[in-house]
Structures are given as C-alpha cells and as structure tokens.
A and B are shown apart, each in its own frame.
Chain A
Amino acid sequence: MTTVQTPAPPRTDSARFVRAALGRIGRYVFTGFVIVFFALPVIWLVTAPFDRAPALRLSVPEFTLQNFQTLLDNPYALRSLWNSVLISITTMVIVLVLAALASYALSRVRVPGRDVLLYSLLLLSSIVTGTAAMVPTFVLITELRLIDTHLAVVLVMAGGLLPAAIFILKDFMDNTPKSYEESARVYGASSLQVLRHVVVPIARPGLATIAVWSVVQVWGNFLVPFILLRSPDNFPAAVVMFTFYTEGGQPNLALISAFSLLFSIPVVLLYLFVNRRYGFRFYGGIKR
C-alpha cells in the first residue's frame, strides 16, 4: 500500500484527458443506473391504478378510473383506510400530549438522574423493538383482553414511540426562553396553563415534527396490527392489502394498484409539507 503523502505520479496531458473523459462517462452511466434502479419499481404505483387491465409488468396505461370504482365497491378497502386514519391520529394525539407534558417537566425541573433517565429511555426504545418483543407483547395484550381492538395497537405503538418523542421534544423545550413562563407563573397561572398558553405556541415546530413523525410511523406499520388484530373489519390499510386476492388466488391487481396509490398519497403529502416547511434533511434524522 502506498503511504499517505505519495504525490500523484506525473501524467501526460492526453492520459489525463482520457482519464477525465472516462470518469465523466462513468459518472453518467452510474447516474443513469441509479435513476432507473430507484424509479422502475415505483413507476407501477402511478401507472397501474389508471390502467384498464393492470398487469404486474409496466405498461403505458389505457386510461380508466374503473380501478377506483372497484376500490369503492370493496367492503374492506375504504374501511381499512379509515382504520389507519383512526389508529394513526389517536396514537399521534396520545404521543404528542404525553410527550409534551413529560418533556416540559423534564426540561424545567432539575432532579438528580434526569439525564440518566432520558438516555436510558432512549436506549430502551432502540432495544425493545416491535419485532424483538412481538411474542411477549401479544401475550400481554391477550392477558389484558385487548386482542383485536384498535386500542391495543394504539397503546403498543404509543409506548414504543414515546421515548424518542420525549427525547426530541425536550431539546425543543430546552431552547424555548423561560422568561415568559416565569412572568406567567408570577401572575398566578398553573403549570398546565403555562404549558398550554405559553410553551406550546413557542414549541410548535417541535410538536409538528413529532406529530408528522408519529403519523408516518404508525401509518406504515405492518407488524403490530398484524399480530394484534384478528378480524378484517379492524385491519388498517397496511395489513388489509395482503387479503386482496381474486377468486382464482391471484392478487387482485385492479384493487391493489388503486389502493396502494391512495394508501401512499398521505405520506407523500406529509413529506412535501415537511420538506417545504422545515426542509427534509432534518426530518431525515429522526425517521426510524
């Protein structure tokens, strides 16, 4: 191996030119490959839903909206999307409220072991993943007689999302000035009132982040509802997709394609919203 300081060997101009040209061609080929690699699987999502006869293969669609009619006619499709909305919004509200309360208190009160508590929570949440704990979680929910309820999914998801939410929000809270709160307190406002009327408006970007983040996490989650729910009536969109088969045992492509598109649009919109509002880079860091 060469050492770090080795100067580049002198080259003739033509060699350098060829090298540069090859490098440029290589870069174009690579760029083309990357675009094709990332685009190909996903194009189906925008063409097949509008195709008169959707097939697995990509093709130029013969335009129709018939597939969406199929979707409306399916008893489970819209219902599952509604279930997804219900589960994600409920989880989001619980995570938001509980995390705001906890992170505010943890940010403003200095007790010994606070940072240890925060870090061990975060450590714990990265260790105890839905996957690793699926069996005991299922047994716990069975014992609580919550199997096949949305509440079970909400509670398990919220429990898993809360530590990271508290950790992130606490940072936002740390960075909000305390002077207003103190004046509010002096004039006799309760801590809850201070949080609601003083802190929440200031910490809104942080709260919005947590809200979007938890909705996206729950919206796409497959495993938790898959193990905790039984009846198709209760399935959220992520699970119900895998029940869409024709009588012949083939995937019902008309239904699946239209459904996939409807199911994906909300997160894409949320992405656009976050991207415009705060820039995606920062959202990137907290997705798990």
Chain B
Amino acid sequence: MTADDGRRRDDAAAPGHDVPTGSDGGQPSPAGGGSVQPVLADEGTTSVPEPEPRPKADATAEVAVINKPTAIGFVAPALGLIGVFMMFPAVWALYLGLTNYRVTGTAAREPEFVGTDNFTRALEDPLFTSSLWITLIFMAFSGVVGQMGLGFTLAWLFRRWRGWTRRTIEVLVIMSWIIPGSVVAFLWRAFLDGEGGTLNSLIPGDVTTEWLLRQPLLAIIVFNIWRGTAFAMLLFDAALNTLPPSHLETAKVSGASTWQTLRDIVFPAVRGHMLTTALLVSMWTFNLFTPFLLTGGGPNYQTEVLAIYVYRVGFGQGDFGFGSAVSAVMLVINLIIALVYFRVLRDRRKKS
C-alpha cells in the first residue's frame, strides 16, 4: 500500500522538478577532492571546519530520482548481510550467555538455560577481573597516554618542518600502522627476542633478557604505541593546521613559554579532536586481539586482555556459554564508550 502511494507521488513529482534542480546544479561541488572532507567530518575526526548544513530545499527533489520500493530493494541486501552476520551474533551472545552451551557433550546438543550463572561466574573468576584490569591498563597507557601523547608531540614538533626528517618520520610511523598485524607481531617478536633480538644486541653488555617473558605487559604496551601512533599523529596534525597562525605568533611575541602556549591556546582549540581521538583509540585498543600474536596472553595470563580471555574460554576450553557471557560484557562496555563518543560528536556538531 505504501509502495503504490510512493510511486504515484513519484510520478507526480517528477515533471515538476525540473525547475528546482537548477538551483541545486548551480553550486556543483567537484566530485573529486571536494567530497573528501565530509567523510572525515562525519567521523568527527577532522579538523576541517565542518561543512554548512546543506539546504533542505532538495527534500522533495530527492523523491524524483528513485521511488520507495526500489530504494527498499537497494537497501535490503546490505541490511540483510549486516543483520545476519553482525547484529544477530551480538543479540545471540546475550542469549547464549544465559546457557551452558558447549562444543561437545550433552550441553552441546541440548544447552540448558542457566540464568545469570555465567555472569556471576565471570565476576568470581579472578582471571576475569585481572583480565579486565589488564585491558584497562593496556587501553590507558598504550592508547590514550602513549598513542595520543606521542601522536600529539610529533604533530606539534613537526608542524613547521617540511624537510626530510618530517617526511621520514611520517612514512615510518604510517608504515608501522599499515603493515599487516601478523607481520608486525613477528617483527616485534624478533626485535624483543632474548638470545638473538636486535634490542638486546643494542644494549651494551651481554644482555639476554626475554622481554616478552620478563616485562610482558610493558612489551605489548610499547608495541601498541609503535603500532597505532599514526592515527593520532595524522589527526592532530590536521587539527593543528586549523589553528590561526596569528594566535601562535601573538603568544610567541608576548613571551609565553611553550607550555603556556599549549595550555592557553592550543589545547582549548583542539579539545574536540582530543576527545574524539581518545574515544576512538580507546574503543580500538579495548577490542584489540593482536597481543595474542605476541604473547598468546601469557606468561601466566599477564597479558591476557579481554579479547584473549574470550578466546581462551570460548575456544580453548570450548565453553561457548561462558565465552558468550564475557562477549556480552565486552559488547556492553563497547556500547558505553560508543554512546559517550556519539554524545560528544553531537554536541560538537550542534556547536559548529
């Protein structure tokens, strides 16, 4: 019924719409570079001033090019795939988390409903609480402090450099970010190896420290700073470019120290970007599985971040019910971070 409705309205609207199109075509944006910026703007991660809200006048014109049933047909396959392979597993995690489903045995054939047993079991498992704690430390130090701190420092130091140092560092930082995780993990295992590692051979004296065994958490934190600084650097670099140079000049002329300049001029101006980056980086670090490739979660569970914990209980022990419950907990934590993120994004948009 609505389908027919839509079509009729379409046909009626189509001829009448030659006129308003003119105004729309009057300000064509080049499809090339011009359209690039909104991509970032929507992710809330750019420093480019967000585009003016587009005139809503085209609301009726939109009906002309595609009718509703066709539109539904266009959207359906994507939504179907998303629904089955992304949304459904998430919802199912909540359900499976309430059962004692296992890989094998009777519980595999007829999983029983066990209520919130799995959740209380998680809370009582010291390995779960320590894993949660490790994840938070990992997130705070490698993501927020490390990647953002180093990223900002690099962007700040190099804001006026255009020479080979800057290019070298940019390329190196970005390379460490785009090389596949498996390769990077192996490079770091080689780098940190006790007997033959490059790091130990650089330290004077006969050092054979097995860094991944002696300082495992520190190792994965440093690794992740190395791995992920590029994002923060690129973002802050873009953010700093939007600062009016005159502000920095004024600060310099009036004799403000670097720290004062940063505190009074730079930080207030890029606070929005800082928040956005902090939340995105937190979310990615929280869900990172790559430490598994370096340490496997060991030694003695010392680097077992939640992602590895879920893997171990779910696949290592075949306890799908319990694994799902922990998955559900992760989903809820992700939801909280994401909600904060969207809140911030919306507030920023309102302001601009």
Which among B124-132, B242-250, B320-328 touches the partner chain? Answer: B320-328
Q: Kindly identify which residue among B86, B153, B260, B314 contacts A124, using a CB–CB cutoff of 8 Å.
A: B86
Most buried by A among B32, B72, B92, B180: B180
Residues 58 to 84 of chain B near chain A (Cβ within 8 Å): 58-59, 61-68, 70-72, 74-75, 77-79, 81-82, 84
Cβ of A237 within 8 Å of any chain B Cβ, yes or no, is: yes
When distances are taken between beta carbons in the complex, the residues of chain A under 8 Å from B93 are 132-133, 135-136
Known: A45-B187, A239-B182. A281 touches B237 (CB 8 A): yes
Q: Is A206 an interface residue (CB 8 A)?
A: yes
Known: A7-B255, A159-B86, A280-B174. A285 touches B43 (CB 8 A): yes
**A264-B180 contact in complex given A102-B74, A167-B42, A178-B65, C-beta closer than 8 Å:** yes
Q: Is B191 close to A, CB under 8 A?
A: yes
Instruction: Name the interface residues of A1-59: CB closer than 8 Å to any CB of B.
Output: 4, 7-8, 23, 27, 30-31, 34-35, 37-42, 44-45, 55-58
Q: How far apart sit A159 and B88, CA to CA, in the bound complex (Å)?
A: 11
**Interfacial residues of chain B within 187-201, with CB under 8 A of chain A in the complex:** 187-188, 190-191, 193, 195-199, 201
Q: How far is the CA of A37 from the CA of B22 in the complex (A)?
A: 56
A127's nearest neighbour on chain B, judged by CB, is B334
CB closest chain-B residue, reference A152 = B85
Partner of A102 from the list B75, B101, B169, B182 (CB cut-off 8 Å) is B75
A256→B226 contact, CB < 8 A: no
On whether the beta carbons of A123 and B68 are closer than 8 Å, the reply is no
Contact check, B78 vs A102: say whether CB atoms are below 8 A apart: yes
Of the candidates B79, B82, B172, the one whose C-beta lies within 8 Å of that of A39 is: B172
With A38-B226, A222-B293 in contact, is A285–B255 under 8 Å at CB? Answer: no
A281 and B238 in contact, given A8-B257, A131-B330 (Cβ under 8 angstroms): yes
State the A residues within 8 Å of B (CB). 4, 7-8, 23, 27, 30-31, 34-35, 37-42, 44-45, 55-58, 94, 98-99, 101-102, 104-111, 119, 121, 123-140, 155-156, 158-160, 162-163, 166-168, 171-172, 174-179, 181-182, 185-186, 191-192, 194-195, 202-206, 209, 216, 219-223, 227, 237-239, 241-242, 251, 256, 260, 263-264, 267-268, 271, 278, 280-282, 284-288
